[in-house]
Amino acid sequence: MSLIHLLSLVLLYPTYATASGGFVAYGDFNCQEQKLDVWSDGVTVPDSTLRTDYSIKDWNSHAGGHYYENLTFSEAVKTNHTLDEAPIQVVWWKLEEVDRTCQYVIMKDSPRGWQVLNKLPGDEIVRASREGCYYSALRPGDNLITSFCCGQDDCAIVEIEKQHVTNPKDTTTGEAPKCSIVNSYSSTPTVEDGPQIGITRSQGCEAPPACSHSVSESQSFSTAVSHFQSYTWTSETGFEATFESGVDFLVDDRSHAGISYSIGQSFMDETGTTLTVGNITSSSEGSRQVPGTYAFYSFTPQYNCWKADVSCGKDKDGNEMILKDVNFCQPIISTSGDAAGTFRMVYVSDG
């Protein structure tokens, strides 16, 4: 069971600000004639509606969304296409009664569960800011997560097509301490999903044959240090060091002297790896878009991740600064140079 599901069961009587609107399942592209019965883990979903009653900001209680596990749909049309050699069904989602200052999202849960490098609880497959009928292709038994956000600042996290890797945050005053691994939890890495990256611009598709997407600009992703706790201390030499909670992507900058880079270097020494930067280019896989929709194409890279406790020197009182449960992640690159990961079409509002 994923962390998202566990968190969803913690509070039986939560109180949340709820954005009006939900996603109603239909079998026809107009979302008018064929309403589908929906089951989640064998229980009927009321009104065939996936509710948007938990927001992106509801991390402490529901990990950023409402989790629907093991979904099945009555009479959904099967397509000739397959995902990972499994038959897929077409489900159209009717969104109505929306607040135009908000965005409403359907995400697909990762088969690997918790995603240490993703600020969202899953991969977006639908993101809508207006009423409409939105396409999805699903396997029987898929897990979906619904969420919403309101306002430009809160919704920045869902604008994945504008995402770019940035330099690591460096809030250290003075020379960063040299860090070293003091407790490694496993010599074998786990496979984790990275952040979903939009690799084409949104476009419309008016009529058959279905429109195609090809990658026109290279998008990069790189080695990362993931951490969920912040630390601030004054070192023995008198300067303040800060290690902020989050994910730092270590771009190829050998002169960088921040703590995150020092931690990354300690993991590289421990695992025998080097700083890796992967690229998704025009030679990457392409995909077709369903007629009558707007969409962009995305890629979610996979990472090999190691977890360890890291020592970054001593504070002014002589206490060793141990940073707990730090994750170090390297992009998985095949021998052919291609990045491992998942391509998805993300269906969005027009315009």
Q: Give pLDDT, residue 11.
A: 34
- Tens-place pLDDT, residues 123-176: 999 999 999 999 999 988 999 999 999 999 899 999 988 665 555 666 656 677
**pLDDT of amino acid 256:** 62
User: Is residue 163 in some structural domain?
Assistant: no
- Looking at the structure, do residues 93 and 217 belong to the same domain, yes or no? no
Q: Which backbone phi and psi does 211 adopt, to 5 degrees?
A: -70, 150
Same domain membership, residue 231 and residue 128: no
Same domain? For 89 and 227 the reply is no
**Domain termination site, one of 128, 158, 188:** 158
Residues 204, 122 within the same domain: no
Same domain, 31 and 117: yes
What is the pLDDT at residue 83? Answer: 46
CA distance 149 to 56: 6
Within a domain: 168:
no
Predicted pLDDT at 225 = 94
Separation in Å, CA 46 to CA 49, 172, 206: 6, 52, 33
Q: Are residues 226 and 305 in the same domain?
A: yes
In a domain, residue 232? The reply is yes
Q: Do residues 142 and 197 both lie within one domain?
A: no
78, with CB counted inside 10 A (0-12, 13-18, 19+), is exposed
> Around Cβ 351, how many Cβ atoms within 10 Å?
8
> Can you give the residue range of the structural domain that contains 74?
3-158
Q: pTM for this structure?
A: 0.85
Token digits of residue 53: 């009653």
Residue 49: inside a domain: yes
Q: What are the percentages of helix, strand and coil residues in the chain, rounded to 5? A: 10, 45, 45
Whether 117 and 67 have beta carbons less than 8 Å apart is answered as no
Within this chain, do residues 79 and 190 fall inside the same structural domain, yes or no? no
Q: Are residues 185 and 154 in the same domain?
A: no
- The pLDDT, as a whole number, for residue 118 is 82
Residues 141 and 238 in one domain: no
Same-domain check for residues 214 and 262: yes
According to the model, what pLDDT value does residue 199 have? Answer: 87
In this structure, the answer to whether residues 79 and 121 fall within a common structural domain is yes
pLDDT of residue 320: 94
> Is residue 166, in this structure, part of any structural domain at all?
no
pLDDT at 131: 94
The first and second tokens of residue 245, run together, are: 């909670």
> What confidence score (pLDDT) does residue 201 get?
87
Structural contact between residues 128 and 98, judged by C-beta atoms closer than 8 angstroms:
yes
Does residue 288 lie within any of the structural domains?
yes
Q: Which of 91, 123, 158 is the last residue of a domain?
A: 158
| Structure confidence by residue, pLDDT tens digits, 284-312 | 566 789 999 999 999 999 999 999 999 99
Give the domain-ending residue among 89, 124, 158.
Answer: 158
In a domain, 318, yes or no: yes
231's tokens: 């630390």
- Number of compact structural domains in the chain: 2
Residue type, 11: L
Residues of the chain where predicted confidence (pLDDT) is lower than 50: 1-17, 82-84
pLDDT in tens, 11-23: 333 333 455 569 9
